[in-house]
Each structure stands twice: as structure tokens, then as C-alpha cells.
Amino acid sequence: MQEAAAFLLGTHDFSTFRSASAELPKRDPVKSLSRVEVRPVPGFLSDHLRFWEMEFTAPSFLYKQVRRMVGVLVAVGQGRLEPHHVQRLLEIRDLMAYPDNTIAPPDGLFLKDVEYCEAG
């Protein structure tokens, strides 16, 4: 998952990771991720279940972009996708190329922090 997450870093056209619902007004799909972290949560481990924490840092996100990125990373962790598929999804820039049944549910996802800085 960490290898796959590395493909998300930097500035990319995230059209494949945008919401299928119409965004009004249409937002620029080019976003810059400055940090992507994927790590197991210590203390939450059993024979059949492991919890993971994922952090994404960017000035802005598309609607449902984080849920879609998490879903693809989980699919990689489950072996349903390979890490290089993340790079390919970014290159395709087509929402219709997003893999079925990989969007993460909203449960457990939350906004942790907002930082403001002066433009200039």
C-alpha cells in the first residue's frame, strides 16, 4: 500500500478519483498532494483483522477524492490491485476507469486538521 500511495504524491490530474455526481461548479481536477502516509495502527491487530491509518495532506481535494484514494489503496492491500495500477489510474484521467467496488465508505473517515496560511 505504501508503494501504491507514493504514486499519489505530487501534482496530478485526479479526474479518475473525482465523484461520479456532478460537481457544481466543475472544479479543477489538478490537485497537489504533499503528503500521503499509510501505517498500521499499533495495538489493533488480530489474526484476521488489521487497522490502518491513512493521512493525506493537500491544499484542496475533489469531492470524494479521499474516499476513492483510500478505496484503491485498500484494494492494493487486499491484493485486488497492484501498486502500479494507481499510477495507471492517474494517467488515464477518466472517472469511468475507476475500479468497481473500491470506493471506501464514509465510516471511519474524518477531517483531522485544517491549516491556513497567508497567500503570498
CATH placement of domain 2-97: 3.30.70.660
Cell of 82: 497492484
Is-cis flag, bond preceding 25, omega within 30? Answer: yes
Decide if 104 contacts 75 (C-beta within 8 A): no
Distance CA 51, CA 3 (A): 18
Per residue in 24-66, pLDDT tens?
567 899 999 999 999 988 776 666 677 888 999 999 999 899 9
For the chain, the structural domain boundaries read 2-97
Q: Read off the pLDDT band of 4 (50, 70, 90).
A: very high
DSSP per-residue string spanning 5-51: HHTTSEEEE-GGGS-SSPPSSPPP-EEEE-EEEEEEEEEEE-SS-EE
Q: Is the pLDDT score of 115 beyond 70?
A: yes
Decide if 89 contacts 16 (C-beta within 8 A): yes
Per residue in 56-65, pLDDT tens?
999 999 989 9
Angle between helices 65-77 and 83-92 (to 10 degrees): 150
